Amino acid sequence: MPVFFIYPIYTLALVFLVFFIVPRKEIRILASYSIFLGGIIDICLIIIVTHLLGIGGYINYGPFGSFGMPFFPPISWVAYFTLFFYFLPR
């Protein structure tokens, strides 16, 4: 199995965890915060750090990316933040 399959496998595992653990109503409430803090911030950091500063970036994303940006890490950050906000004490 090629190395670049780790991104979709990790993303699918997190998305399945979100759908099995977090109730649907909570997903709808937490999605807006998760999209902003997970997906949009990750895309901005990829652009700033990788493209503007040339410091680092993602490797081995193979066909799962475009213009030097992978597709799956922002999606997995959204799923991660949804789980994080769900388990955060109120």
* Domain assignment of residue 64, yes or no: yes
Question: Confidence class of residue 24 from pLDDT cuts 50, 70 and 90?
Answer: very high
* Domain assignment of residue 81, yes or no: yes
| pLDDT one-digit tens code per residue, 28-86 | 999 999 999 999 999 999 899 988 998 888 888 889 988 888 899 999 999 999 999 99
Global pTM?
0.89
Q: What range defines the domain where residue 28 resides? A: 24-87
| pLDDT one-digit tens code per residue, 1-21 | 888 899 999 999 999 999 999
* Domain assignment of residue 68, yes or no: yes
Q: Tell me how many domains the chain contains.
A: 1
- H-state helical runs in the chain: 6-21, 24-34, 41-45, 72-87
* Domain assignment of residue 3, yes or no: no
User: Contact, 87 vs 25, CB < 8 A?
Assistant: no
* Domain assignment of residue 51, yes or no: yes
User: Contact, 4 vs 65, CB < 8 A?
Assistant: no
C-beta atoms surrounding 67 within 10 Å? 6
Residue 90 vs residue 42, higher pLDDT: 42
* Domain assignment of residue 59, yes or no: yes
* Domain assignment of residue 2, yes or no: no
Cα dihedral sign, 24-18-43-90: positive
* Domain assignment of residue 4, yes or no: no
